[in-house]
């Protein structure tokens, strides 16, 4: 499970940051998750529960905020959401070509996997 190794890194980073502060407990961790990471939310939630046992994060809630793919076309200048491929099936994925001119694009959003905020209780 790729999600376990990703979540291990996230939890390790959060715990390292928490060492710098007088925190009694953590109530919530907010994770922005881009659709281009192809990470499963359920698997991340499960990994979080297991990995945070016996840590300052034990019992905290993991909130996952999805981040849609946003593109910038290098040909026509289009900036916006990507078209979806396979929407008629169980899982769709963003198309990485310009929806207007089919040109090459730069990905502006959708690749994130980062903690954006935490709710903590301090002394």
Residue 36 and residue 110 in contact, taking contact as beta carbons nearer than 8 Å: yes
For the domain made up of 2-69+110-122, the CATH class stated in words is: alpha beta
pLDDT value at position 99? 95
CATH 3.30.2320.50 domain residues, the chain: 2-69+110-122
pLDDT value at position 89? 60
pLDDT value at position 86? 75
Per-residue pLDDT of the chain (123 residues; tens, 9 = 90+): 589 999 999 999 999 999 999 999 999 999 999 999 999 999 999 999 999 999 999 999 999 999 999 999 999 999 999 998 876 666 678 999 999 999 999 999 999 999 999 999 988
Task: Give the other-Cβ count within 10 Å of 95's Cβ.
Answer: 16
Residue 62 and residue 32 in contact, taking contact as beta carbons nearer than 8 Å: no
CA angle 17, 54, 38 (to 5 degrees): 65
CA distance 109 to 107: 6
**Cα Rg for the chain, rounded, in angstroms?**
18
Q: Where are the beta strands (DSSP E) in the chain?
A: 23-34, 61-67, 70-73, 79-81, 84-85, 93-94, 105-109, 113-122
pLDDT value at position 90? 61
Write down the pTM of the prediction: 0.85
């Amino acid at each position: 499970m790729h999600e376990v190794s990703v979540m291990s890194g996230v939890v390790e980073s959060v715990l390292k940051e928490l060492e710098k502060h007088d925190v009694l407990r953590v109530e919530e961790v907010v994770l922005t998750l881009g659709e281009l990471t192809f990470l499963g939310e359920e698997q991340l939630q499960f990994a979080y529960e297991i990995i945070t046992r016996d840590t300052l994060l034990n019992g905290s809630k993991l909130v996952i905020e999805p981040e849609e793919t946003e593109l910038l076309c290098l040909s026509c200048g289009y900036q916006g959401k990507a078209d979806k491929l396979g929407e008629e099936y169980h899982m769709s994925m963003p198309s990485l070509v310009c929806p207007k001119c089919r040109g090459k694009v730069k990905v502006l959003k959708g690749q994130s996997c980062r903690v954006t905020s935490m709710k903590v209780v301090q002394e």
